[in-house]
Chains A and B, each alone.
Chain A
């Protein structure tokens, strides 16, 4: 009797937990489901349902403005994340070799763009570019993105740096390897998870950024975010819903694959053992 009561209580708790998680999921995914549904809506306004269609998906690839914005977004994300990863990795090595006070100062300044409001970062860079007389456009967006990406890269690599065992590096030096060679062969592999995580985080941040791009872009150039923002008043083109659906689904599939591969390998290794 007591046992069943206890089991019921457990079940009751589990139901409440799952219900709560489910509720937050609905909250987080409701707008995404809405956007996906809208991408199949055969009517220009989002207010009414005009039947199911794929036409926005085909006209998307003929829409030069959206394609140009997509190209800008992806290329800026790729270049800025790569440059930020390179600068950030080298900076981490230097930071670890610094004395304690200068290290604290450098890390403190590095945290500023992450803790500061994006609107302030955006405005400050805009004022900088104006006073340097740099023409606003692709280049200024790229510089801004590299700037706000470096801190995320450093944030990902520094913890890995602290876990490093420097004796292996010294052993490599003692065995006659040059400093660069031993860094490449001994230290870098240990840092790799942090570097990859930093690159991916930077790429994501750049892809999703609107505010800083808004202040550092010039006329005539758009990323997807600024394109969407300029369409807010006159109404979003349905092609945009189609594009964001494609992006979302591809990321979902990619993450699912990445999550699956290790599980598959583990299963394979297990079966090989038996």
Chain B
């Protein structure tokens, strides 16, 4: 009797495993071919030269003055843009999380809506607005204020980064603030905490997971952009993204491009590890 039950269970288990494999296999194959293998292709191309010999030269090329300058500039601008995004987004997310539920859904929608206009066109529109004889300078001249000459400077690139990636900072922080239990805040108030104390001891610590995923979602695209720097920075300011893009499109040295991408990936991995230390259960906390 027991044996047959065991047999039955084993049969069921086998069928279950078979089903899992059958259903999982299309995606597992897809994942292997289109996610894992391509990453190894970068590694492969980055570690050989044009003749197919093993070399570290493509990776060490980051040390050349032009490349290292592009990398440091990209890191610097990405850090500044991320910091500005955080400073702008936190108060906003806080205000939105306090408003009544029914309206805030619509307000959030309004913050996502700009993403439906092509992001290249939106960046180009800023180019038109920020130009020396553009709309903003006309308004400033009308108000007899000094003109804003930031187009084709690193400042304009930071401006474009903040504009394009701000929603990515607002949404995770807003979500983490929404998850805070009102009772915890009320309990703190009952125990005599003032507004500033509540913000400092309860709201801010509980919103850290949102801040961390916001930082990741802004920092990585800002670090690697080549479009924003091309449109708003003129063609003279090179970020690491521009260098890599050039190698793959015009210059045609894929090996060098792959080597530099490996260096770039190192920074992304460092960023990911840093954020996973802060945020233990990040599964699905992205949006």
Contact = CB atoms under 8 A, between A and B. Distances in A.
B114 A32 contact: yes
B211 interface: no
Interface in B20-69: 20-21, 23-24, 26-28, 30-31, 33-39, 41-42, 45
A244 B35 contact: no
What does DSSP make chain B's interface, helix, strand, loop or mixed? Answer: helix
A94 B23 contact: yes
A147 interface: yes
Give the dominant DSSP class at A's interface.
Answer: helix
Given A110-B31, A252-B113, A228 B24 contact: no
A251 B113 contact: yes
A25 B286 CA distance: 24
Contact of B110 (A25, A31, A98, A124): A25
Contact of B35 (A113, A210, A248): A113
Interface string A81-118: 00000011011011101100000001101111111111
B119 A208 contact: yes
A17 interface: yes
Interface stretch (A3-11, A53-61, A125-133, A184-192): A125-133
A120 B42 contact: yes
A93 B257 CA distance: 39
Interface stretch (B145-153, B180-188, B200-208, B218-226): B218-226
B174 interface: no
Contact of A124 (B39, B123, B220): B39
Contacts of B33: 128
Nearest to A107: B283
A119 B224 contact: yes
Given A109-B36, A119-B226, A159 B95 contact: no
Interface residues of B, number: 78
A127 B41 contact: yes
Contact of A117 (B24, B27, B223, B257): B223
B38 A35 contact: no
Contacts of B121: 31, 35, 228, 236, 240-241, 244
Contacts of A228: 118, 120-121, 124
Nearest to B98: A17
Contacts of B128: 34, 38, 46
A248 B125 CA distance: 15
B258 interface: yes
Contacts of B109: 255, 259
B83 to A, nearest CB: 16
Contacts of A94: 20-21, 23-24, 27
Contact of A127 (B16, B42, B124): B42
Contact of B268 (A97, A116, A251, A252): A116
Contact of B216 (A34, A98, A115, A158): A115
A1 interface: no
Given A117-B221, A225-B120, 18 more contacts: A30-B126, A32-B114, A32-B117, A32-B125, A90-B24, A93-B23, A97-B19, A97-B24, A117-B224, A123-B257, A123-B261, A124-B39, A127-B41, A127-B45, A128-B41, A146-B30, A155-B284, A158-B283
21 contacts: A21-B96, A24-B88, A27-B163, A30-B126, A31-B117, A31-B122, A32-B125, A94-B23, A106-B31, A121-B38, A125-B34, A127-B254, A128-B34, A128-B41, A131-B41, A143-B34, A210-B119, A247-B117, A248-B117, A252-B113, A255-B109
Interface of B: 16, 19-21, 23-24, 26-28, 30-31, 33-39, 41-42, 45, 88, 91-92, 95-96, 105-107, 109-111, 113-126, 128-129, 133, 135, 163, 166-167, 216, 220-221, 223-224, 226-227, 230-231, 241, 244-245, 248, 254, 257-258, 261, 264-265, 268, 272, 283-284, 286-287
Q: Which 7 A-B pairs have the closest CB atoms?
A: A94-B24, A31-B125, A124-B38, A91-B27, A117-B224, A94-B23, A127-B41
